[in-house]
Amino acid sequence: MKSLIQLTEMIESASTITVLTGAGVSTASGIPDFRSANGLWSEDRSREYYMSNRYFSEDPVDFWKKYKEIFRIKLLKDFEPNPVHYFLRDLEKLEKRIYVITQNVDGLHKAAFSSDIIEYHGSLDTATCPSCGTSMTLERILAEETPRCFRDECRVIVRPDVVLFGDPITKHGQAEVCVQSSELLLTMGTSLQVSPFNLLPEYAVYDVHIPTAIINREETVMDSLFDCKVFGDLSETVQLLNHKLF
């Protein structure tokens, strides 16, 4: 496959790579893709309303009930990193600096021990008290139907450390800094439908002027931005890349 050979050469020639990852990276771990054509978000648009900062403010008790229902699969933490996560970690063994900027909130890049991770949309692993700032672990979150700050003098309902609909994105500038210092932007497993995350490939092309590549199961509306495009199963693709790179 010509595109796979081209991608291999691009990875080999870059000492610093920024990798953008989306839900497609985690599907091989058994976690559904919420935004693909057949993803869970297409089944019930009301989830965007319930997973908003507005709804948390209006009814935090029911918010937590629906939050745990919607993310029940991820919150069970029964999933492990798959070959795609480990491929990105193993690229570091080639003495490359790999920045992983992920839309995923499942924590699997951390579980695979990648060194530099920006969880662009936050993480399911923790929650924070909006009153006193106390952090709560996932174990405590799961222990209560409606998680509250464990400080006796507080007991305020905590807020999950994920970016809810209506929240500002706070890590975009940090992500741009990673792109600025890179020699390649590699996008994996994302439909690039969510803004401002989908502005990062444009930033790489028009502002930083670095090569770009995408690996995805299906075409995206932003494919024209990429110098190299590989379409197909991500796990199969990284297996082929492993044979060529290691």
Residue 154 annotated as binding? yes
Residue 149 annotated as binding? yes
Among candidates 4, 200, 195, 7, which has minimal Cα distance to 100? Answer: 200
**Six token digits for residue 113:** 């021990």
Secondary structure (H, E, C), 14-30: CCEEEEEECHHHCHHHC
Q: Which amino acid is at 181?
A: S
Alpha carbons 118 and 76: distance in angstroms, whole number:
22
Alpha carbons 208 and 177: distance in angstroms, whole number:
10
Residues β-bridged to residue 127: 136, 160
Could you say which of 85, 121, 172, 243 is catalytic? 121
Question: Is 121 known to be catalytic?
Answer: yes
Catalytic residue positions, numbered? 121
Annotated binding residues for Zn(2+), written as ranges, equal 129, 132, 149, 154
Annotated binding residues, written as ranges, equal 129, 132, 149, 154
